[in-house]
Amino acid sequence: MCGIVGYVGKKNAYSILISGLKRLEYRGYDSAGVAMINVQSELNIYKTKGKVDDLVAFCDEKDTTGTIGIAHTRWATHGEPSSKNAHPHVSASGRLALIHNGIIENYITLKEKLIDRGVQFRSVTDSEVLVQLIEYIMQSNELDLLEAVQVALHQVIGAYAIAILDREHPDTIVCARQSSPLVVGLGKDHDYYLASDASPIAEYTDKVVYLNDGDIAVLQYGKTLKMVNKDNETQQPKVKQIDVSLGQLEKGGYPYFMLKEIFEQPECLRDCMRGRINVESNRISLSAVIDYREKLINARRIIIVACGTSWHAGLIGKQLFESLCRIPVEVEYASEFRYRNPVIFPDDVVIAISQSGETADTLAAIELASKSGAFVFGVCNAIGASIPRQTQTGVYIHVGPEIGVASTKAFTGQVTTLSMLALCLAQERKSIPAAMYQEMIKELASIPEKLELALRTNKQIEQLAPIFTYAKNCLYLGRGYNYPVALEGALKLKEISYIHAEGYPAAEMKHGPIALIDSEMPVFVIATRDRLYDKVISNIQEVRARGGRVTALVTEGDEQISKLADYVIELPDTLECFQPLIASIPLQLLAYHIAVCKGKDVDRPRNLAKSVTVE
Ligand code: G6P
């Protein structure tokens, strides 16, 4: 994780760096720092524990001039959050400053060697070893910065996106990437931006180069972008056009990005389906399925790999692919899959689901699957990220940048995309009747309007939320398609309100969690009208019999459950397999309002980061 930003050109670097850090704060907010070189060639470094706003306050009345600089927002791995461990790290002589996102696995060995040779360290981070190593190589071999970086990277094991300033060359930033993301933005006057993702760059230029693993870029103001690798072989920059509007990166009047993103979902799902679902011709077309039809329809098995919320989307995908396509599916935590020596067949299709497209474990799972000869398919949101580049094909969910750390619109976008993919394959495999296929397409296309209705529960949920702020534990129950919704609802509450919550298959509750139920334990039950409706009613009875307090999500017009539950939230009806899209909305709102009532920073929950680029 960690977010890095850089600029070299003729504009004031500080303001670009700070606004860039604010856009990247979702990647970590334990500490922040900036380094700029002023016209007197002085390297000014300011860093502090805390968030970017703390850094801005810290820099007040300091010299923040200069047209070149780098900046960092940290999610701590090695070393506690403190200003000493904050980036940029400075070399022993004070000549170089470096920012790093990733983990240097062999830093202890490198550090010991440098200490033996008299280098003094100021922090306990793995990152500092990079800047000390680079300077040591520069000095002892009389190399320039690029040459020293090339030599140093031959010695380094681990993941990194780095950027380095050299006080003696105040027009140049050298940056490099291995397994951690890095994007270079090309300004009009051969000025350059760099960042962990394109969001800090989008307001200045739409031309970017996504660095590949092994790339080292030299960003020299006024000169053409130079790209090489560790062995000094020239790499050809591939310039891409990005299409991110500023509005997508702002809160647009909402108090938090999370609330904005919850409310954006109807529009996001329209964007996700646009050009793919055609209700008039009753067809779904996904170019990946057209291009790789044989591979996909002949899959012996689908293995879904993902982490966090994306894994929950995968659990819904499993039910969709199994029931509609009759293909067996396994859903794996990427972090477990990658280390388990799993059995992977060449005719397996591995679907990697990821909002950010940068999750380290998911990338490693992709690598393992590709090496085993499986066909690897990505379902991703961030355009141009590593996962879409490292999979054979895939589908973007197209819900726009998600900034709130707790994922909301990406989840419903993933489920919508998996629904389209399952329907597409079902049609090709002729595994569902044509009439059913048509009914499902029509229903899926109508989901955005139904989400608009589901969002009308916001006021009711806002009023209910204070009742639950006292809770220490909550239970979320659901069955079938709604079981992953229960897991996701519980995860949302944990992430932003710090209340312990568990999602459980409603019937499994009697095999353990039922022991926890008392009048202090709120139980949220997804009890929409479907095949398992009567069974879920029995489960509600079991909770009631033990004094539990039930809040039920029900299908509008339901009269039975309102007699049993303490509170009911009514939702529009839909087909069972699309119910997760609708039922997720009130659970997102519930987590949001409970966290707000508890005074939590919804967009920046403690200890979390949105993009987890370390394993
Ligand atoms: C982090 C985020 C979660 C996300 C998970 C997987 O833990 O906080 O919201 O679900 O990573 O991320 P991905 O980008 O791969 O979907």
pLDDT of residue 452: 97
Helix, strand or coil, per DSSP, at residue 552: strand
Gap between the Cα atoms of 389 and 452, Å rounded: 34
User: Contact at 8 Å (CB) between 503 and 453?
Assistant: no
pLDDT of residue 43: 97
Does 615 or 390 have the greater pLDDT score? Answer: 390
In tens, the pLDDT along 382-419 reads 888 899 999 999 999 999 889 898 999 999 999 999 99
Q: What is the CA radius of gyration of the chain?
A: 25
For residues 118-129, average pLDDT? 92
- Which secondary-structure segment (H or E) carries 550? strand 549-555
Q: Which residues on neighbouring strands pair with residue 165, listed in sequence order? A: 97, 173
C-beta 359 within 6 A of ligand 1:
yes
C-beta 605 within 6 A of ligand 1:
no
Strands 283-284 and 277-278: antiparallel
Q: In this structure, what token pair is assigned to residue 123?
A: 């922090």
Q: Which residues on neighbouring strands pair with residue 292, listed in sequence order? A: none
Q: In this structure, what token pair is assigned to residue 509?
A: 């509750």
Question: Does pLDDT of 609 surpass 80?
Answer: no
| Mean pLDDT for all residues in the chain | 93
pLDDT of residue 182: 95
C-beta 608 within 6 A of ligand 1:
yes
pLDDT of residue 251: 79
pTM: 0.81
Which residue, among 120, 163, 127, 169, has the nearest Cα to 144 in the 3D structure?
169
Question: 264 pLDDT band (50/70/90 cuts)?
Answer: very high
Cβ count near 213 (within 10 Å): 15
For residues 271-286, average pLDDT? 89
User: Contact at 8 Å (CB) between 401 and 600?
Assistant: no
Does 322 or 279 have the greater pLDDT score? Answer: 322
Burial class (CB in 10 A: 0-12, 13-18, 19+), 563: exposed
Q: Which of 261, 307, 379, 496 to mutate to test the pocket of ligand 1 (most atoms within 8 A of CB)?
A: 307
Compute, in angstroms, the gap from residue 461 CA to the centroid of ligand 1: 25
pLDDT of residue 509: 84
In tens, the pLDDT along 25-76 reads 878 778 999 999 999 999 999 999 988 999 999 999 999 999 999 999 988 7
Residues 6+ apart with CB under 8 A from 73: 2, 3, 21, 24, 25, 27, 28, 29, 31, 32, 51, 52
Q: Which of 356, 380, 608 to mutate to test the pocket of ligand 1 (most atoms within 8 A of CB)?
A: 356
pLDDT of residue 112: 95
pLDDT of residue 483: 97
Cβ count near 507 (within 10 Å): 16
pLDDT of residue 607: 81
> Domains, the chain, ranges and CATH?
3-247 (3.60.20.10), 251-432 (3.40.50.10490), 455-604 (3.40.50.10490)
Active site residues: 2, 610
pLDDT of residue 79: 76
pLDDT of residue 83: 84
In tens, the pLDDT along 188-222 reads 989 999 999 888 999 999 999 999 999 999 999 99
User: Contact at 8 Å (CB) between 486 and 579?
Assistant: no
Q: In this structure, what token pair is assigned to residue 299?
A: 């899959």
Question: Does pLDDT of 532 surpass 90?
Answer: no
For ligand 1, what atom is nearest to the CA of residue 382? 14
Compute, in angstroms, the gap from residue 308 CA to the centroid of ligand 1: 5
User: Contact at 8 Å (CB) between 123 and 79?
Assistant: yes
Cβ count near 464 (within 10 Å): 20
* First-to-final CA distance of the chain: 10
pLDDT of residue 206: 92
Q: Of the ranges 243-247, 428-432, 550-554, which one carries the lowest mean pLDDT score?
A: 243-247
